[in-house]
Amino acid sequence: MASSESSSSSAQSLTFYGFLDKMRNPASVDLVRSIKSFIVSFSFYSPYPENDGKRVQEFFSIFEVAIMDHQLWENSSMEEIDCSMEGLEKYVMTKLFSRTFASSPEDVKIDQEISEKIHLLQTFLRPDHLDIRPFLRNESSWLLAEKELQKINSFKAPREKLLCIMSCCKVINNLLLNASISEDHALGGADDFLPVLIYITIKANPPHLHSNLRYIQLYRRQSKLMSEAAYYFTNLVSAKSFIVDLTAESLSIDASEFEENMQAASLTNKGATVEPSLVLNPTLEEQKDVGPATALDEAEDGFGTSYPYMDAEPGELTVADVERLLSLYKDVVTKYTNLRRAP
């Protein structure tokens, strides 16, 4: 499963530098001009995700046709053309990232809502609520899968974001495979895979889940969002959609128990925050052109709403705070990592 790709990110960066090298060649001046003017053209329009996606995909196709006839790619194999196209995708989308990622207020709002709902679910959801079979409960594999998924916000290129999803799913598949060998169970199919993915998504609560999925859907080269990649991508879309629509009936749980837990969780959340208005960060809009929303959206917001434990004393904390603290910790580390990567 995408093994040749994920195993060697250095090979991939070589590819990317190979692409940049070609672009520095005087013979490609016309191509460089077309890339630049394409990127600039985006500043003339306000964000409109569907259209933006279509324009980018069209540009990719036109560019691919152009390099196939280009002297710099004379005698190039399909693989080499493909590598250049990966380079192009990465270059263009890195430049357009802040303009295209989570670019509509609706998307930002959906991200927030999902992340808040997950936050509540995290306080009480257990594997048996999703009927995950006991031999598939493996903390270390799950943690690894969560980490792979959380890396999704460390990248701007659609291909790399997609690879994070693939790596996460690969960890789950290895878990299913190992469980089938050591426990002598039949290798499970989707009915084993999907609940684990849902559970891991809830544990990981990756920021901007919805926007990441939409971004990959719109901007990953279409010919690459096929087959196995499409399957695993669809599973995460499906996990997200399950979470969005999740009610007591979606789980093996008593309806009243579910309601009580959800309420208790939302009270704890409110109690812990100085300001209950977690909902939308008003400064996000202006920050968009500064850089990826992931890195900056909450950074200037004061600690109160986003980091409720800033003023807490050790004595006030209970075991119930651990989940939240851990998720905030992960959030902070992700942000820190993003900021460090920022150009």
Ligand X SMILES: Nc1nc2c(ncn2[C@@H]2O[C@H](COP(=O)(O)OP(=O)(O)OP(=O)(O)O)[C@@H](O)[C@H]2O)c(=O)[nH]1
Contacts to ligand X by CB under 6 A: 189-191
Q: Residue 185 interacts with another protein (CB under 8 A)?
A: yes
Cβ 145 vs Cβ 168: under 8 Å: yes
Cβ 198 vs Cβ 242: under 8 Å: yes
Two tokens at 47? 């964000």
Q: Which does 82 bind (CB under 5 to 8 A by kind): Mg ion, ligand X, another protein, none?
A: another protein
Q: Residue 189 interacts with Mg ion (CB under 5 A)?
A: yes
- In the complex with Mg ion, the residue whose CB is nearer, 17 or 231, is 231
148-178 burial: b if 16+ Cβ within 10 Å, else e? bbbbbbbbbbbbbbbbbbbbbbbbbbebbee
- In the complex with ligand X, the residue whose CB is nearer, 191 or 286, is 191
Report the sign of the C-alpha dihedral through residues 278, 287, 201, 342, in that order: negative
Angle between helices 190-204 and 227-244 (to 10 degrees): 60
- In the complex with ligand X, the residue whose CB is nearer, 5 or 192, is 192
Q: Which does 174 bind (CB under 5 to 8 A by kind): another protein, ligand X, Mg ion, none?
A: another protein
Part of the chain binding another protein (CB under 8 A), chosen from 101-109, 168-176, 203-211, 319-327: 168-176
Q: What is the DSSP string of 224-288?
A: GS-HHHHHHHHHHHHHHHHHHT--GGGSSS-HHHHHHHHHHHHHHHHHH-SSS--S--TTHHHHG
How far apart (Å, rounded) are the C-alpha atoms in residues 230 and 148? 18
Q: Which of 50, 191, 245, 313 binds Mg ion (CB under 5 A)?
A: 191
Query: Closest approach of Cβ 152 to Mg ion, in Å?
Result: 27
- H/E stretch holding 305: helix 303-306
Q: Residue 255 interacts with another protein (CB under 8 A)?
A: no
x/- binding map, residues 54-93, to another protein, per CB under 8 A?
Answer: -----------------------xxx--xx----------
In total, the chain counts a number of residues equal to 343
Q: Which of 14, 20, 40, 187 binds another protein (CB under 8 A)?
A: 187
Residue numbers at the binding site for another protein (CB under 8 A): 1-5, 77-79, 82-83, 131, 169-170, 172-174, 176-177, 180-181, 184-195, 222-224, 226-229, 231-232, 234-235, 237-238, 241-242, 245, 249-251
